[in-house]
Amino acid sequence: MNKEQAKKRIEELRKQTEFYAEKYYDEDKPEITDFEYDMLMVELRNLEKEYPEFQSAESLTQKVGGHVKEGFEKVTHEVPLQSLQDVFSLEEVEEFDERIKQKAKENGIKEVMYVVETKIDGLSAALEYKNGKFVRGATRGNGLVGEDVTQNLKTVKTIPKEIKDKIDITVRGEVFISKKDFEKMNEEREANEEELFANARNAAAGSLRQLDSKITEQRPLDIYIFNVQKIEGKEFNSHFEELEYLDKLGFNVNPVRIPCHNIDEVKKAIEEIGEEREKLTFGIDGAVVKVDNLKFREILGTTAKTPRWAVAYKYPPEKKETILKDIVCQVGRTGVITPMAILEPVQVAGSTISKTTLHNEDFIKEKELKIGDTVVIQKAGDVIPEIVEVKKEKRTGKEKDFEMPRQCPVCGAPAIREEGEAAIRCTGIECPAKLFRNLVHFVSREAMNIDGLGENIIQQLLDNHLIENIADIYTLTFEEIASLKKNGKKFAQNLIDSINKSKENDLYRLITALGIRHVGTKASKILAKKYKNLDNLMNAKTEELSEIKDIGEIMANSIENFFSQEQTKDLIAKLKQAEVNMSYIEKEGEDNRFEGKTFVLTGSLENYTRGEAANLIEKYGGKTSSSVSKKTDYVLAGEDAGSKLTKAQNLGVTILTEQEFQSMLER
């Protein structure tokens, strides 16, 4: 590689690593594995070392990845939260030891001791205590400036609100989610057809960096403390001594901390952690080797990004071969049909793998998978099993191709894949696999608004075989509902009243409740007003529907397909029999002052939530959008308005203050 080629490759690697780091640190949505990212960083570091004239302070080899998320207060760390230099072989650990011993010799230090700890796979945070009380917590951010996540950290049960000594201290720890809790979270997300978390680290990071602490509180976050950043009135000689003291204060300290007298003991500790890592209740992505002597650490110092007194040894991901015995399809609660690989059971990274998701038909085609193939399995993030490779050279000719079904394997309704989507979905509204989710949506506040019919009650009704389809809601008796609760008569009467009241809802609520793909509340209101009753809408064709403003061809096609199905017609007939209103309710003196106008909301409003403001806009015939464009009529800007306000100013869009918006409402 000549100098010009090296420069070009360095620039490519910097762009790649910046992109992947942003996905990992800022969006908590990694696009490649940790190992793949590490290899890119190793290549970049080696090239910069070989061609020092191309080194830059902006390279991720010289700075910590991560930025402060919009919506959080910034916190400047008094002591920087640095990252660690990664190494990938025991030879590199030995080289680290040689550098440390040489420096020790130069400074008259006779013995060098180390502490080897697990490198917990989570999100780094600093906890600040004043007079023994927890006062502030922050993420690492870029190492110098992080995010104030105090309220979120207060929801983590293993963070003490008060410690045993009334001192001023700042400690550093790693927020994580245990393996068991992570698996449970992903099982629940899979059941609800939500996007799975890629790994426990990103699940923890995404949970801690929620703007609403109530969401964080629902996530099973934990923390291990591994360092004293700053302390008033106490001094320590060794890092191990610090950790023991933190334990006594009541902190949840990293449980794996092995004191080592020499490099041989260090290598043995690394190997032991590697052998035992699958038995740990928490995920790790390496072992950290730290110089124990704190005064010697000060002599060794740091670079702009990493301390010179520590390295992180990264374990390679474990891979195993097995046989793809079959591919079966599962139908999730939202109708997505997911192919699952049935595997010859194999031990990978400490657990037996007998099946794994194949995501969608694109994944199967991309990997060129056939039933009977020999495949290579790896645990992504040491938690989620995945097929990473097909051993085509081991094919015998008996392998079989697989085709995704075009009919739902549960109910037989058409299964479709829409343009631009990877998923194939069951379209049947009465599909048993979708029934729970369809019921939850049907009764929700924005749909039929049946108060009292929450998820727990719906599940009880299904478990007791009291309902078998959506329309059965309207045949429930007082006695059946009362049987669900001890002394349930009052509850039963309230729910019966709410069910009966829902029969009188405006047509748009029923259209919303049917859960037609791509059709939300806004579109439902437009359709109800245009067609006046459900029969007219059911007979409408795609060409006619797509001419309606704000409907469009994709939505129009979805509406016609939905109403052409036998399952839909059957449900509508049952709802008619139950005397559910299917007509548009004309409103006297209807006020459409915002008709044809598009609003974008940004920043914090004093008198309304964004949802309340959006409802008012829609009430008067307007619509809201999440992005600013030339077609935007108004941007309603509250405090701390960000990039949307700037874009509106550049495009010359009318910007409203909250007072101006209030005036428009009062006219």
Q: Which of 15, 49, 110, 119 does the annotation list as catalytic?
A: 119
- Considering the domain delimited by 598-666, tell me its CATH architecture: 3-Layer(aba) Sandwich (3.40)
Which DSSP helix (H) or strand (E) runs through 637? Answer: strand 634-637
Phi/psi region, residue 328 (left: phi>0; alpha: psi -120 to 50; beta: rest), is beta
Phi/psi region, residue 515 (left: phi>0; alpha: psi -120 to 50; beta: rest), is left
Which segments of the chain belong to CATH 3.30.470.30? 82-187+194-313
Phi/psi region, residue 239 (left: phi>0; alpha: psi -120 to 50; beta: rest), is alpha
Residue found under tokens 């890629």:
198
Return phi, psi of residue 300, to 5°: -65, -40
Closest by CA position to 529, among listed 537, 517, 539:
537
**Terminus-to-terminus CA distance in the chain, angstroms?**
72
Amino acid identity of 462? L
Query: Quick one: DSSP state of residue 162?
Result: B
Neighbours of 491 (CB within 10 A): 16
Cα 620 from chain centroid?
A: 35
Which segments of the chain belong to CATH 1.10.150.20? 435-577
- 3-state secondary structure (DSSP) of residue 654: strand
Neighbours of 455 (CB within 10 A): 12
Q: How far apart are CA 181 and CA 207, in angstroms?
A: 13
Q: How far apart are CA 541 and CA 569, in angstroms?
A: 16
- 3-state secondary structure (DSSP) of residue 147: strand
- Which residues lie below 8 Å from residue 380, measured CB to CB, with a gap of 6+? 33, 198, 199, 386
Q: How far apart are CA 490 and CA 488, in angstroms?
A: 6
Q: How far apart are CA 592 and CA 622, in angstroms?
A: 8
- 3-state secondary structure (DSSP) of residue 139: strand
Note the pLDDT of residue 349: 66
In 444-591, beta strands by DSSP E? none
Q: How far apart are CA 209 and CA 557, in angstroms?
A: 39
Q: How far apart are CA 422 and CA 364, in angstroms?
A: 11
| CATH for 3-54 (1.10.3720.10, 1.10.287.610, 1.10.260.40, 3.10.25.10) | 1.10.287.610
CATH topology of domain 435-577: DNA polymerase; domain 1 (1.10.150)
- Which residues lie below 8 Å from residue 456, measured CB to CB, with a gap of 6+? none
Q: What is the DSSP string of 226-293?
A: EEEEEESS---SBHHHHHHHHHHHT--B-S-EEEESSHHHHHHHHHHHHHHGGGSSS-EEEEEEEE-B
CATH topology of domain 317-425: OB fold (Dihydrolipoamide Acetyltransferase, E2P) (2.40.50)
- Which residues lie below 8 Å from residue 139, measured CB to CB, with a gap of 6+? 66, 123, 124, 125, 146, 147, 149, 208, 209
Query: Quick one: DSSP state of residue 172?
Result: E
- Which residues lie below 8 Å from residue 353, measured CB to CB, with a gap of 6+? 320, 322, 343, 345, 346, 347, 377, 379, 385
Which segments of the chain belong to CATH 3.40.50.10190? 598-666
Note the pLDDT of residue 209: 84
Note the pLDDT of residue 351: 66
Residue found under tokens 């994944």:
363
Residue 621 sits at the vertex; the CA angle it makes with 438 and 643, to the nearest 5 degrees, is: 85
Which segments of the chain belong to CATH 2.40.50.140? 317-425
- Which residues lie below 8 Å from residue 473, measured CB to CB, with a gap of 6+? 439, 442, 443, 450, 453, 467, 499
Q: How far apart are CA 553 and CA 419, in angstroms?
A: 12
Closest by CA position to 339, among listed 322, 359, 319:
359
Sheet hosting strand 169-176, strand order edge to edge: 133-139, 123-130, 169-176, 222-231
Active site residue 119: yes
Torsion of CA 493, 499, 500, 506, to 10 degrees: 150
Residue found under tokens 């609800």:
192
Block mean pLDDT (10 aa), the chain, length 667: 84 85 69 74 85 82 62 88 92 96 94 95 94 94 90 93 95 93 84 74 84 85 96 93 96 96 96 88 92 95 91 86 94 88 83 86 93 88 77 94 93 88 89 91 93 92 93 95 89 95 95 92 90 95 90 91 94 96 80 86 86 85 86 90 88 92 84
Q: Is this model's pTM higher than 0.85 or not?
A: no
Note the pLDDT of residue 18: 83
Rounded (10°) angle between helices 90-106 and 263-276: 150
Amino acid identity of 312? A
Rounded (10°) angle between helices 200-208 and 179-191: 80
Amino acid identity of 507? L
- Considering the domain delimited by 82-187+194-313, tell me its CATH architecture: 2-Layer Sandwich (3.30)
Per-residue tokens: 112: 């060098």
Which segments of the chain belong to CATH 1.10.287.610? 3-54
Cβ-contact 174, 160 below 8 angstroms: no
In 395-499, beta strands by DSSP E? 415-416, 424-426
- Which residues lie below 8 Å from residue 231, measured CB to CB, with a gap of 6+? 167, 168, 169, 170
